[in-house]
Structure 1
Amino acid sequence: MSDTIQFSELGLPADVLTSITELGYEQPSPIQARAIPMLLEGRDILGQAQTGTGKTAAFALPNLAQVDTRSKSIQVLVLTPTRELAVQVAEAYQRYARHLKGFRVLPIYGGQSMQLQLRELKRGVHVVVGTPGRIIDHLGRGTLKLGELKTAVLDEADEMLNMGFLDDVEKILSHLPEKRQIALFSATMPQQIERVAKTYLKNPEHIEIAGSKKRNENIEQSLWVLKNERKREALVQVLEAEEYDASIIFVRTRLAAEELTIHLNARGYRCSALQGDMAQKQRETAINALRKGSLDVLIATDVAARGLDVERISLVINYDIPYDVEAYVHRIGRTGRAGRQGKAVLFATPRERRMQQAIERHLSVKLTKYDLPTRDEVEQRRIAELITDVKKELESKDLERYKKIAESLLEEMDVSGEEVLAAVLRSQRDGRPLLFDAMPTEQFEQREPREPRDSKPIQAVPEGYKRFRLNVGKSHGAQPKNIVGAIANEANMDANHIGRIDLFDYYTLVDLPDGMPKEVEAILKKARVAGRMLELRVWEDRPRSGKPRRDGKRDGRRSDSKGRGRGNDQRPPRRKSQ
């Protein structure tokens, strides 16, 4: 269907069509071609499609067709599992509505100023995109009024289930008016999601896009497990070893982008940083330079790279592992465009193996071990590049000035022409040697597999983690999944980075990454679980060594860890949503 149909045939209004045409949209993807007409008819839909298949436009475009900008009431509510996705979806609505006069969209998530959200809601917005926890908070305050809501969208419902948000989602759905439309999108359909669909959707149209997991089949994906302090060295080795037209390197922070840009420029690479706080003109200059070939490498954060589409990019390097699998999908999607072959390399420290495994599960792929070429292979490739460059220069025939320099060199130096040429080659490589004195041919040593967790007693806080106390426990109705969901959402932290959780009657202990920014701790102090503020603080009340107390007794307080002692095993226990 989507191979021949055009957006103009789907029934979208002229102002929305103008926007997507300006954005470069041509033909709808399969999920768009099937979902848009159904939503325009007012039908409920159950869409099964992976990230990267165009599902945001599949629900946002028909939503915009139904929005009445003369009203200041909330007409569309979109629930997302993470604040990054909430921001991304809100930005998509804004782009699609560029010709919809008076349109307003508001992302709502933890960590953002509550006063800002209250002020914007009071002014009036047409679309709210938010995470379940913060939406529940506003519903409790009475500041989110859904009486005139037309459509609710559940985006990545299975991820909300995995993060422990399903109870909150159902609570939100129970607040919707009787007459409304619901669109539920999920990559997978576990029983809990099917139950929600049966309970809240009315005769939904089930749309399943088959084969969506194969969308990255033209991208060769590989993995390099290494220590954090070796990553810079490894990055240079990959850039030296790979043949690529252009490359994009993903990092987590603006500072990392700036530092790596300096590092690579000093080694002769034509590169630039791409950051979220860049002026639009600077951003466009950098992207156009990459597109035209005057730049070969961009170092970017996830926010800065959104919407980046440069066909020259044939190599993506995930220098910092992303916080979630959706970000990984979007990152590697910068290559392998328009049917071209691409390559993606993921750097992961031993402590980040769980995130790597989550990526593999999500994409149903096994990341192959990255194999560095030998020194001889890299040298031969460089020599071939040099020969090609020299041939081009000889064909240009614009060498008269250089011939005079060559003649002068030969006259002044009592050496052969071959020796002069060799010296020139050695000195004129822009900081990148043609030949290497040495180059590692093996990967850095990886960790041995862990012992089974059942063989380890509960011991000290794992290296790289710090233990915190939360002011909520079993007696308040808290469960591990609630703790995970609150921390992951409010702190913008991947659930895989949350360590051991011990639930007691009146409080909870949780291991979180050491060095967590103070502003994140401040956010988590005010976050809520089971209606209680977490009041997070560092746990110092119990010996960190796990040894007996001075009175000869061990700490006898019972926890809800269900025998999941792991000692120095940093993996969080598996948590099942009920």
Structure 2
Amino acid sequence: MSDTEQTPAEATGPLFTSLGLADPILRAVADLGYESPSPIQAQSIPVLLAGRNLLGTAQTGTGKTAAFALPLLSQLDEQQRSPQILVLTPTRELAIQVAEAFQTYARYLKQFHVLPIYGGSDIRSQLKGLQRGAQVIVGTPGRVLDHLRRNSLDLRQLRALVLDEADEMLRMGFIDDVETILAKTPASCQRALFSATMPQQIKRVANTYLGDAEQISIAAKTRTVERISQSYLGIKHHHKMDALTRILEVEEFDGMIIFVRTKSATTDIADKLEARGFSAAALNGDLTQALREKTIDKLKRNQLDIIVATDVAARGLDVERISHVINYDIPYDNESYVHRIGRTGRAGREGKAILFVTPKEQRMLRSIEKSTRQPITPMNLPTNAEVSGQRVDQFSRQLLKVIGSEETAPFLNFLTQFSQENEISIEDAAAALVWMAQKDRPLFPRQEALESNFSSGKPDRADKPRRERPQREERPRRDDRPKRDSKPALAGVDMVTYRIEVGHNDQIKPSNIVGAIANEADIESQYIGHIKLYDEFSTVELPAGMPDALLQHLQKVRVGAKLMRISPLDKNAVLPSAGERPPRSPSKRPANKPQGKNSGARGYGGKPDDGNRPVKKKKYGKLKQRGND
């Protein structure tokens, strides 16, 4: 269910007519068939109508858009052309969706104008729209701030400001821009903040700018919609594409979104699907806004069946015909999974979500199940017989469509004459024609057997074969044993150590660093070397030869809520032991105290940091990044 759609009327709940909304707004609500508000709407509308600030916590799909749009529109001054309501959203797609919702609810308001402003589109058209006048502005923080700097957006007469999906804006690194915009709004401006979760930084913003806001929290019985069928397929990474193809052949779907982690993967997988006969297109942040909107419009008009997208690109995407969501890459966190599968099963429709899980990602699967409080059932990979049956069925339907048509009459005469001249039966000739027609897409394919649905637990000791071990006197000494490379992918790769300005004090983990670098630098996590965490900063090993443009880009990437500010580590830098605080002042160390050979950069991992005194090894000094985080 989208934020702009309602649940069926409940006999025991209140009606929209009892909430005090303006008559034109109630007429629009009645036209849409809404009768009973959702819980977030029933509690939020009276608070906002009373002019009080609001802090709302509710999951996506609970009707938050109507919860703030209906009461704010009810108090709109139709004669005032300057902006009265400003709504900040994390993505362009959500901005467009919210603007469309405002337009729908205000259909009976005279001279009403709503203007979405976001990056990636022509700013000149937005400037013209602001000059003409709009009572409601819906935009992304970056573009709104851009207009404020140009003095093209006037907030002096603003009556209400809404932060929609504030936690997502924090995750995407917009929170500083949001605070700058909040500081430029009038003190008398009514404010509302809606968020699925309430991180500490969001609470701080609420305390600073919302004051004694009314707090509303809607606890979801389950984190995901019950009508979405959820299943997972255990599969090795290099078998994913073949598994995806088989699923697409067997599943009866209308529209589909395939989620991946990186922008490059969207185009790669979309191209492969196109080559295999599927109607697919990529959707990522590198596409122009016009092309992104055109792609989504094609999906809505049945001109496209499959979109391969990243999390950010598909944020706020609401297309009715999406029946399936496939998580080709498991998301980095549980919240992303909830948002992903929320693209289907909307407005009372049923949906299906499939999650690909590699052997190293089983722990993440259990974490998602625990978070959503719903089991994700294992599924079996479609067999050759199932794929063959589906192809035969589709081929049969195509034959039945053309049998008996006028176009086939000449070919029937040809087939009869051909059979008589060559003294073969029409059945044999027809079989030969079918074989020729299906060569590019065989009706009876011989596909490679793929290993799937691995065991999620450790094998029982009784079932494990005993390993023959040499007698103790025959075993080689420990020093003589060959050392194993813990990172085979890095063998022979020149590595450079970089420093990033986030550490233990910022509540980050090595997996957060791996995820940020792998996604933004488009580098596989197996090529990210060892990571060491300190209180104020961290170090990470990356392949040598990083382009300057990429290094500058990574400096602006955020890990958690803090800029990475990556830079090559000074080879002469003196580092504390991993996880331990550095000395407060160099003056406290005796000036004439000799420094050991292994001091400085060799001091972490339990090495002596001064050549004499051993350092107690902390447990997080041995942290290693995981290959598929």
Superposition TM-score tier, normalisation by shorter sequence: 0.5 to 0.7
Deviation at residue 253 of structure 1 after TM alignment: 6.2
Give the 5 Å matches for 1:435-446. 435-440=444-449, 442-443=451-452
Deviation at residue 213 of structure 1 after TM alignment: 2.8
**1:539-569 CA distance string (max 9 Å, x none):** 47399xxx9x993557226899963134544
The code of the aligned residue for 2:602 comes to: D
Distance 1:567 1:274 in 2: 35
1:202 aligns with 2:232: no
Q: Given the alignment, which residue of 339, 343, 346 partners 2:355?
A: 346
**1:396-444 CA distance string (max 9 Å, x none):** 6874233223213423444444433332222223732111224425328
Contact 1:74–1:145 under 8 Å retained in 2 = no
Contact 1:250–1:319 under 8 Å retained in 2 = yes
Which residue matches 2:597?
A: 551
SS in 2 for 1:410: helix
Which residue matches 1:454?
A: none
Distance 1:531 1:390 in 2: 58
What TM-score do you get using the length of structure 2 for normalisation? 0.62
Distance 1:7 1:396 in 2: 57
Distance 1:332 1:243 in 2: 17
Which residue matches 1:564?
A: 620
Distance 2:426 2:559 in 1: 77
Q: Given the alignment, which residue of 421, 433, 437 partners 2:430?
A: 421
Contact 1:35–1:207 under 8 Å retained in 2 = no
Which residue matches 2:194?
A: 185
Distance 1:434 1:308 in 2: 36
| Structure number with larger C-alpha Rg | 2
**1:460-503 CA distance string (max 9 Å, x none):** 899689853135779xxx63459999999999879xx9995622
User: Structure 1 residues 191, 260: CA separation in 2 closer, same or farther (over 3 Å shift)?
Assistant: closer
Which residue matches 2:21?
A: 11
Q: Given the alignment, which residue of 281, 299, 303 partners 1:287?
A: 299
Deviation at residue 377 of structure 1 after TM alignment: 3.1
What TM-score do you get using the length of structure 1 for normalisation? 0.66
Which residue matches 2:475?
A: none
Deviation at residue 38 of structure 1 after TM alignment: 2.8
Contact 1:525–1:536 under 8 Å retained in 2 = yes
Equivalent pairs, count: 532
Distance 2:383 2:337 in 1: 28
Bigger RCO of structures 1 and 2 (CA < 8 A, at least 6 apart): 1
Which residue matches 2:506?
A: 479
Which residue matches 2:482?
A: none
Which residue matches 1:373?
A: 382
User: Structure 1 residues 420, 284: CA separation in 2 closer, same or farther (over 3 Å shift)?
Assistant: same
1:91 aligns with 2:137: no
Distance 2:65 2:548 in 1: 34
The code of the aligned residue for 2:216 comes to: H
Which residue matches 2:533?
A: 502
The code of the aligned residue for 2:619 comes to: G
The code of the aligned residue for 1:53 comes to: T
Distance 2:201 2:563 in 1: 28
Gaps of 5+ in 2: 1-5, 10-14, 460-484, 578-594, 610-614
User: Structure 1 residues 482, 380: CA separation in 2 closer, same or farther (over 3 Å shift)?
Assistant: closer
SS in 2 for 1:58: helix
1:468 aligns with 2:498: yes
Distance 1:25 1:229 in 2: 48
Contact 1:40–1:62 under 8 Å retained in 2 = yes
The code of the aligned residue for 2:57 comes to: Q
User: Structure 1 residues 77, 239: CA separation in 2 closer, same or farther (over 3 Å shift)?
Assistant: closer
Contact 1:182–1:201 under 8 Å retained in 2 = no
1:224 aligns with 2:233: yes
Percent same amino acid at aligned positions? Answer: 35
Contact 2:158–2:186 under 8 Å retained in 1 = yes
Give the 5 Å matches for 1:114-125. none
Which residue matches 2:243?
A: 234
**1:305-325 CA distance string (max 9 Å, x none):** 8544243x4333233445665
Contact 2:362–2:456 under 8 Å retained in 1 = no
Distance 1:482 1:17 in 2: 52
SS in 2 for 1:426: helix
User: Structure 1 residues 37, 409: CA separation in 2 closer, same or farther (over 3 Å shift)?
Assistant: farther
The code of the aligned residue for 2:372 comes to: L
User: Structure 1 residues 219, 187: CA separation in 2 closer, same or farther (over 3 Å shift)?
Assistant: same
**1:236-256 CA distance string (max 9 Å, x none):** 122233333454434466764
Distance 2:177 2:547 in 1: 27
Q: Quick check: 143-152 or 295-304, which moved more?
A: 143-152
The code of the aligned residue for 2:555 comes to: K
Distance 1:389 1:530 in 2: 53
Which residue matches 1:332?
A: 341
Distance 2:509 2:82 in 1: 34
Contact 2:158–2:189 under 8 Å retained in 1 = yes
Q: Quick check: 246-255 or 33-42, which moved more?
A: 246-255
Distance 2:255 2:94 in 1: 28
Q: Quick check: 258-267 or 228-237, which moved more?
A: 258-267
User: Structure 1 residues 96, 526: CA separation in 2 closer, same or farther (over 3 Å shift)?
Assistant: same
The code of the aligned residue for 2:96 comes to: E
Distance 1:482 1:267 in 2: 40
Distance 1:146 1:449 in 2: 60
The code of the aligned residue for 1:347 comes to: F
Give the 5 Å matches for 1:81-160. 85-96=90-101, 150-151=159-160, 153=162, 155-156=164-165
Distance 1:207 1:539 in 2: 46
CA RMSD across the alignment: 6.1
Deviation at residue 571 of structure 1 after TM alignment: 8.1
Distance 2:318 2:544 in 1: 33
Contact 2:141–2:174 under 8 Å retained in 1 = no
Distance 2:511 2:291 in 1: 36
User: Structure 1 residues 284, 317: CA separation in 2 closer, same or farther (over 3 Å shift)?
Assistant: closer
1:267 aligns with 2:276: yes
Which residue matches 1:522?
A: 552
**1:33-72 CA distance string (max 9 Å, x none):** 5423431322333433211223244234544565779586
Gaps of 5+ in 1: 451-458, 574-578
SS in 2 for 1:222: strand
SS in 1 for 2:223: helix
Give the 5 Å matches for 1:381-420. 381-394=390-403, 399-420=408-429
User: Structure 1 residues 30, 487: CA separation in 2 closer, same or farther (over 3 Å shift)?
Assistant: farther
User: Structure 1 residues 490, 266: CA separation in 2 closer, same or farther (over 3 Å shift)?
Assistant: closer
Deviation at residue 530 of structure 1 after TM alignment: 13
**1:510-530 CA distance string (max 9 Å, x none):** 578999996564244357999
User: Structure 1 residues 511, 367: CA separation in 2 closer, same or farther (over 3 Å shift)?
Assistant: farther
